[in-house]
Amino acid sequence: MDAHRVVNVLVHRRDGAGLLRGVPAIVLVVTATVIPFVGLVAKVLGAGDVFAVWSRPGVSGTAWFSVWMGAVSTVATLAIGLPAAWIVARHRFRGRDLIRVVLGAPFVLPTVVVGAAFLALVPGGRGLVAIVAAHTFFNISVVLRTTTPVFSAIHDDLVDAARTLGAGRIRTLREIVWPLTRSAVTAAAGLVFVLSATSYGIVRILGNATRSTIDVEIYRRAIEFGDPSGAAALALTQAVAMLVVVTWSASRRGVPFTTLASGSRRRVPRAGVLYVWILAVAVVLPIGALVTRSFRGADGWTVSGWRAVFGGDHSRLEGVDLLGALGNSIRFAAIAAIVAVPVAILVARPRRNSRLVTFIASTPVAVSSVIVGLGILITYDVEPFDIRSAWWLIPAVHASVALPYALRSIAPLVASLPTGLGEAAATLGASPWRAWWSVELPLLRPALATATATSLAVSLGEFGATSLLTRRDTRTLPLLVESLLGRSGGVGSTAGSAAATMLLVLTGFVIVVLDRGLRT
Amino acid sequence: MSLELVAIGVSFAGHRVLDDVSLTVPTGHTLAVRGPSGVGKSTLLRVVSGLLVPDHGRVLIDDHDVTSVPTHRRSVGFVFQDSQLFPHLDVAGNVAFGLRMQKLERSLIDASVTEWLTRVGLADRAHQDVRTLSGGETRRVALARALAPRPRILLLDEPFSGLDNEMRIRLAELVHDLLHDTDTTALLVTHDDDDVRRVADSVHRLAAAADGST
């Protein structure tokens, strides 16, 4: 084989032989997730008494709190979110698109912003109520995203058929709607439970001594108590438990069915529309409270918080460097997107989703980012691999965390691209590179815009892994927010709210402007 | 069971769909409702079944006003255009559904399901997945499901659409025979003259509502 042919097989072939295309993704996932996780397991196996950490004060209480708080958050989220998802999925009414956007938005918000918002909404509100409320706020968007497609696929006539056969509202719900939507609802419940039980950023801000999750305990053991073995043991237990929950809830068998939704015929129930409007307002409320809080001091309206974070008041907030953190956040986000998006383009294949794509796209649910951070901390401490203090480690981890999200935006569109286009370009004399550059890439533009915006947003909000890996010169905006809000005194929370508002605006800008602007 | 509609009027978003529609179907008769598309034929069936409450007018079954009786207590069978079989229940489960809603004894339900599956020629398909049935089989299950609970009135919305001609004739004959054997009063919506001849005793023509807007 001549060199040209080798390149052709490795890079361009569409039938799965384009092996090289998957290499960057594999390298990224293996070095940033797989090896650290293996290192974590090795650490636990190498430690003398794996279970010793469980007898330390507070540890089992933390685990128990994670479980029951996760359960309470799940029940609250489903109780509030499912009716809203049902109404939005099955009825057309004025403002429905707006409500979809508003109710779906919390998912892309950084967790520390959500935490800061509920801290602002409920003054002195650290504790169970604030935590559950924040999780509900965040996870309603998860419920909406996962259940709406199934809800809208149930034909009105199918429900009507049950009614004409003598089934009342409750029986129709129980005997027709529930069996058909059960698998989607169970999967959503599992996901919400895992996201709540392994919550980290929100609990770091809204938790207290008795209200703390396993993930926060992992951080404290690793960083504050200098007990990496104990942290690793907790991390492993958590990872296995959550993997079981996710696998179980996603494997509930559903009845696949396809019907065309009519949607618009049914008269819209006024109470239902009122409900989703109230919910939309309730979702905006904490955000409004956060922005307001950033201008409120002990003596009324003030800009002292904003002045403090911008370095105007060094005497009262030592070591705060907003511009530095802002610079780091933007730099890391840019690097993460520049790495993650091309890697995702390379690994996405036409016509089908390979196992590699499926595997990568599902990793963020399976492993929480605190565990990724801990794994890296533990694993890469041996020369010549002692890269824990390298500045580029954080954007690299951000890229690996963002990769699944980028891939989810790109893979479906790539898989649906007609292969004939590239072939047509080839017959017109375009080289494979040229065909890709001038035919396929322009077609992928909307997905690339979404992938870029999502990668930037994920990096900007990343808190779990970053909090374990950061050093003084690599602090990011979320870390600054958390540390400001943790300070006692009014200026801390005002300044923290200001920093959180900055992060909110930045994320909103990325999602709205970049996603919309790059699409066309 | 006779059916009588008195001055039924329905508007959607200011657009008048049914305008003072009145008709009578004597006990055991089958009335075909004809008319151009968009004239409100399906809407009329929805009014009779209680799925839609008319803006004005009354629905009488055996001279009793049922206009405000909810669908599930009205005992009006409905064969939907796309059959709308429940995908999570097998053939027998679909036919048994209405009987279960009447809280009948298990043995009675089983006997009735067997009887109805035999009548529509699907006795050997009781435990088949409904998503694997052919178009004609699907319609027959829908028919058995609607008739098994012994409805007072049966409504059929384009029950033969999308079938090939031979299947269409056979199914129409089956419907005709079943309605006669059970002495069921029925309303049939169709756009096919042959269907009308094969199944119906009389025809009601729906004209477009007099005024497009109110």
User: Are A329 and A416 found together in one domain?
Assistant: yes
Q: Per the domain annotation, does A363 fall within a domain? A: no
CB pair distance less than 8 Å for B84 and A155: yes
B3-205 is classed CATH 3.90.79.10: no
pLDDT tens, position by position, A355-375: 777 777 666 666 788 999 999
CB pair distance less than 8 Å for A175 and B102: no
Interface test with A, best of B74, B78, B101 (most A CBs within 10 A): B101
Q: Per the domain annotation, does A93 fall within a domain? A: yes
CB pair distance less than 8 Å for A158 and B84: yes
User: Over A167-195, what HEC string results?
Assistant: CCHHHHHHHHHHHHHHHHHHHHHHHHHHH
The rounded percent of chain B whose pLDDT value lies above 90 is 70
What residue in A sits closest to B13 (Cα-Cα)? A267
What residue in A sits closest to B129 (Cα-Cα)? A255
Q: Per the domain annotation, does A433 fall within a domain? A: yes
Q: How many CB contacts within 8 angstroms connect chain A with chain B?
A: 72
What distance in Å separates residue A251's CA from the closest CA in chain B?
A: 17
User: Are A337 and A437 found together in one domain?
Assistant: yes
User: Are A402 and A510 found together in one domain?
Assistant: yes
What distance in Å separates residue B201's CA from the closest CA in chain A?
A: 24
Q: Per the domain annotation, does A446 fall within a domain? A: yes
CB pair distance less than 8 Å for B81 and A165: no
Cβ–Cβ < 8 Å for A59, A238? no
Alpha helices in A264-310 (DSSP H): 270-293, 304-309
| pLDDT tops 70 at residue A261 | no
CB pair distance less than 8 Å for A162 and B76: no
CB pair distance less than 8 Å for B71 and A179: no
Own/partner pairs for A221-225, CB < 8 Å, 24+ apart? A221/A53, A222/A374, A222/A377, A222/A468, A223/A467, A223/A468
CATH code of the domain in which A187 resides: 1.10.3720.10
Q: What is the pLDDT of residue A22?
A: 77
Q: What is the pLDDT of residue B209?
A: 66
User: Are A323 and A450 found together in one domain?
Assistant: yes
Residue B200 DSSP one-character state: -
User: Are A311 and A210 found together in one domain?
Assistant: no
What residues in B contact A167, CB-CB < 8 Å? 72, 97, 101
Residue B102 contacts A where some CB pair is shorter than 8 Å: yes
Residue A164 contacts B where some CB pair is shorter than 8 Å: yes
User: Are A93 and A128 found together in one domain?
Assistant: yes
Range of the domain at A338: 305-351+390-520
User: Are A314 and A276 found together in one domain?
Assistant: no
What distance in Å separates residue B72's CA from the closest CA in chain A?
A: 4
CA angle A68–A72–A74, rounded 5-degree value: 115
User: Are A446 and A342 found together in one domain?
Assistant: yes
What distance in Å separates residue B52's CA from the closest CA in chain A?
A: 9
User: Are A409 and A339 found together in one domain?
Assistant: yes
- Total structural domains within chain A: 2
DSSP assignment of A20-64: GGGHHHHHHHIIIIIHHHHHHHHHHHHSS-TTGGGGSTTHHHHHH
CB pair distance less than 8 Å for A161 and B84: yes
Query: In chain B, where are the structural domains located?
Result: 3-205
Q: What is the pLDDT of residue B153?
A: 94
Q: Per the domain annotation, does A34 fall within a domain? A: no
Report the relative pairing of strands B30-34 and B56-61 from DSSP bridges: unpaired
| pLDDT tops 50 at residue A17 | no
Q: Per the domain annotation, does A367 fall within a domain? A: no
pLDDT tens, position by position, B14-30: 788 888 999 999 999 99
Residue B134 contacts A where some CB pair is shorter than 8 Å: no
Q: What is the pLDDT of residue B212?
A: 45
The model scores a pTM over 0.90: no
Residue B81 contacts A where some CB pair is shorter than 8 Å: yes
The percent helix, strand, coil of chain A (3-state, each to 5) is 75, 0, 25
Region A158-182: mean pLDDT is: 92
pLDDT tens, position by position, B196-205: 899 999 999 8
pLDDT tens, position by position, B41-89: 889 999 999 998 999 999 999 999 999 999 999 999 999 988 889 988 9
User: Are A422 and A472 found together in one domain?
Assistant: yes
Does the interface predicted TM-score (ipTM) exceed 0.90? no
User: Are A264 and A338 found together in one domain?
Assistant: no
CB pair distance less than 8 Å for B131 and A157: no
User: Are A340 and A253 found together in one domain?
Assistant: no
Q: What is the pLDDT of residue A275?
A: 95
pLDDT tens, position by position, A22-49: 788 888 888 888 888 888 888 888 877 7
CB pair distance less than 8 Å for B80 and A161: yes
Residue A264 contacts B where some CB pair is shorter than 8 Å: no
